[in-house]
Structure 1
Amino acid sequence: MGNYSALAEENVEVAPGHYLMTLVPEEKPARAEPGQFLYITVTGEYDPLLRRPFSLFDVSPGERQLKIVYKLVGRGTELLKGVAVGSRVDVMGPLGTGFDIYDEGKDLLVAGGIGMAPLFYLAKKLRERNKEVTFLLGARTKAGLLFVDELEELGVNTLLATDDGSQGFKGTVVDLLAAYLQNNGRPDRLYCCGPAPVYKGVLEKAKSLRLPVQISYEERMACGVGACMGCVCKPESRDSYIRVCLEGPVIKHIF
C-alpha cells in the first residue's frame, strides 16, 4: 500500500528508554492484524535514508488509532522520540504477514523485552475471542517488564521473569518457559517474539516437543515491501529464504 500522513496523538516514555506512540492516520489504512508492522519516517528527507519498522502494539476499532512501542537504540528512534504531539509522521502499513489465530486450543505467548509489543495486540485479539491466554514475559530487570498491568486488565494470565530476580522468576524467559511446561503440560501452540537468544530457545523447545510455534522475526529492512531482498533470512524448518518484510515478520514452524 502507499504511504500516508499520521498525527502523533501521544509520544510518552513508559519505562527508561521505552516509549509509546499513538498515531491517528489521515486516511483509514488497511485492516491491521497482530504481528504486522508500520514503516515510519520522521524527517521526510534522506537522513536517515531508510524508514524504521515498528510492530503494531495496539489498534483501536476501525483503525482510528495505531499504537507502537519503541526502544531507543539509534538515530532513527532518537528522531522518533523528538516527535511532538500534534505533529505528523509519514507511515506505510500495516505491512507484512501477521499471526494466525485459532478458536480452539491452549495458546502460550513468550516475549523477551521489547518483543512483547506485537504479542500484546495478539493477546488482546485472543481475549476478544474469550480464549484463555498465558503470557510469559521476561526482561533483564524489573524496569524492562512493560505493560504488565495492561495485560492483566485484559484477563491474561501473566508470568514474569527477570535475569536479576528483581521481579518474578529469576532467570530468562526461556528458563521460565521450561519450568512452566514441566509444571503445566504442553499447550497447543506457542507464539514468540524477542531477541535471538529468546526465539532460538523457544524454537528449540518447540522442536523437542513437536509443538507448532509462530515467531516474529526482526531484520534490517530497506523497501519494506519485498522488492529489494534486503531482509532475507532462512528460518529453521524452512527449505528456502524468506523476506522478513513480506513473508514475515511472523513465520510459522511446524515440526
Structure 2
Amino acid sequence: MSPDRGPLHVAGEVLSVKRIGAHHHVTVVAPGIAERFRPGTFVVLTLDDAADTARLQPRSFWIHRVRPTGSHGATIELVVAAGSRFTRRLVALPQGSPVRVTGPLGRPFAQPREPVSCLLVGEGYAAAPLFPLAERLRERGCTVSVLLAAPDEAHLLGALEARRTARSVTVVTADGSVGVRGTVVDALPELLTRSAADVVYAAGPVATLHAAAAAAEQHGAWSQTALETAQPCGTGLCQGCPVPVVAEDGVGRLVRACTDGPVFRGDRVRWLEVDAR
C-alpha cells in the first residue's frame, strides 16, 4: 500500500452523537482519515477521557459515511450499538471529547470494473458499510438492489436513505413491524432471481453472511462478505482475529480479519467454523 493510502493515527474529537432508533450515529473529526476511506474499511477508536482507559480495549467500527462539515473538514460517521462498556461510554461523550483514531484499516469491497447488477444485503447496524458502497457502485453505472433486515423497526438501518441510491429496496423484519415479516434467508432466493444479480455484497451477523454467500453460490453469483469480529489491534500484530478460509490452492488456513479482511469472498470462508467460534 502506498504511503498516501495507508492508515493514520490521529487525535480526533467527537463532533456529535445522535440516537436514531436503537442505534447511535457518532460523527468524529479525524483529520486525513476520511480522505483515504474506501467502502468496507474501518477505524479503531481509543477513548482518551475514560478514567479506566486501561480496562477499555480499543474497538473497531465500520465507517458508515464521510461528510464535509465546513470548518472541521471531512468527518467520519459511525453507527454504534451501545451494548458493551466501551460503546456505552462512547455514545455518552459530550461534543468535543477527545478520541484516538486509527484508520482506515482493512481490505475494502472490491468493485466491478464494468457495470453489473449488484444485490446488497445488510442486517442491523452492521449494514453500515453498504451505504457508501451503494453510492460508489451507482457511480460506476451498476444496477443496485438492496435488502435490509432487522429484528424490528428500531434496529433497521437506513431504509429511506437506501432508497435514494438503489433501484429497489426490500425490507424484512422478524416481527413484521416494518416491511415484510421474515428473514434474509426467506427473501434472498426471490430477490436474487428478480435482480439477476451478478455480485452479492453482504454485511451483518455471521448467519446472514453465510446465508448470502450460500444463496449467491447457488444462484451463480460472486459474493463478498464484510465480517465483523473482535479485532484487538486492527493492524494484524496481535493475531487475535483469526478467520478460517479456503485459500486459492484449496488448502484451509487461518487468516487475519483485520488485514486479510474484513471483506472476504463468501465462497472462501469456512462459515461453519466461524459459527462455532
CA distance, structure 1, for counterparts of residue 131 and residue 172 of structure 2: 17
Picking from 120, 125, 145, the partner of 1:109 is: 120
Aligned position for 2:65: 58
**Secondary structure at the residue paired with 2:129?**
helix
Retained in 2: the 8 A contact 1:113–1:145? yes
In structure 2, the CA distance between the partners of 1:163 and 1:79, relative to structure 1 (3 Å rule), is same
Aligned sequence identity (%): 31
Tell me how far 1:61 sits from its aligned partner: 6.1
CA distance, structure 2, for counterparts of residue 15 and residue 205 of structure 1: 30
In structure 2, the CA distance between the partners of 1:4 and 1:185, relative to structure 1 (3 Å rule), is closer
The alignment's TM-score, normalised by the length of structure 1, stands at: 0.91
Aligned position for 1:249: 262
Aligned position for 2:186: 175
CA distance, structure 2, for counterparts of residue 206 and residue 117 of structure 1: 21
Q: Which moved more, 1:202-211 or 1:65-74?
A: 202-211
1:64-79 residue pairs with structure 2 within 5 A? Answer: 64-79=74-89
- One-letter amino acid of the counterpart of residue 104, structure 2: P
Tell me how far 1:8 sits from its aligned partner: 1.4
Tell me how far 1:3 sits from its aligned partner: 1.6
CA distance, structure 2, for counterparts of residue 178 and residue 249 of structure 1: 25
Matched, 1:186 2:190: no
Aligned position for 2:227: 217
Retained in 2: the 8 A contact 1:37–1:95? yes
Tell me how far 1:254 sits from its aligned partner: 5.2
CA distance, structure 1, for counterparts of residue 136 and residue 264 of structure 2: 19
In structure 2, the CA distance between the partners of 1:205 and 1:236, relative to structure 1 (3 Å rule), is farther
Tell me how far 1:157 sits from its aligned partner: 2.0
Aligned position for 2:163: 152
Picking from 7, 12, 25, the partner of 1:20 is: 25
**Would you say how many aligned residue pairs link Structure 1 and Structure 2?**
252
The alignment's TM-score, normalised by the length of structure 2, stands at: 0.84
Tell me how far 1:126 sits from its aligned partner: 1.6
- One-letter amino acid of the counterpart of residue 225, structure 1: T
Retained in 2: the 8 A contact 1:237–1:254? no
Residue segments in structure 2 that go unaligned for 5+ positions in a row: 1-6, 269-277
**Secondary structure at the residue paired with 1:241?**
strand
In structure 2, the CA distance between the partners of 1:175 and 1:226, relative to structure 1 (3 Å rule), is same
In structure 2, the CA distance between the partners of 1:2 and 1:33, relative to structure 1 (3 Å rule), is closer
- One-letter amino acid of the counterpart of residue 7, structure 1: E
Root-mean-square deviation over aligned CA pairs: 2.1
Retained in 2: the 8 A contact 1:161–1:172? yes
Residue segments in structure 1 that go unaligned for 5+ positions in a row: none
Q: Which moved more, 1:31-40 or 1:42-51?
A: 42-51
Retained in 2: the 8 A contact 1:137–1:161? yes
- One-letter amino acid of the counterpart of residue 141, structure 1: D
CA distance, structure 2, for counterparts of residue 206 and residue 155 of structure 1: 19
- One-letter amino acid of the counterpart of residue 150, structure 1: E
**Secondary structure at the residue paired with 1:65?**
strand
- One-letter amino acid of the counterpart of residue 15, structure 1: G
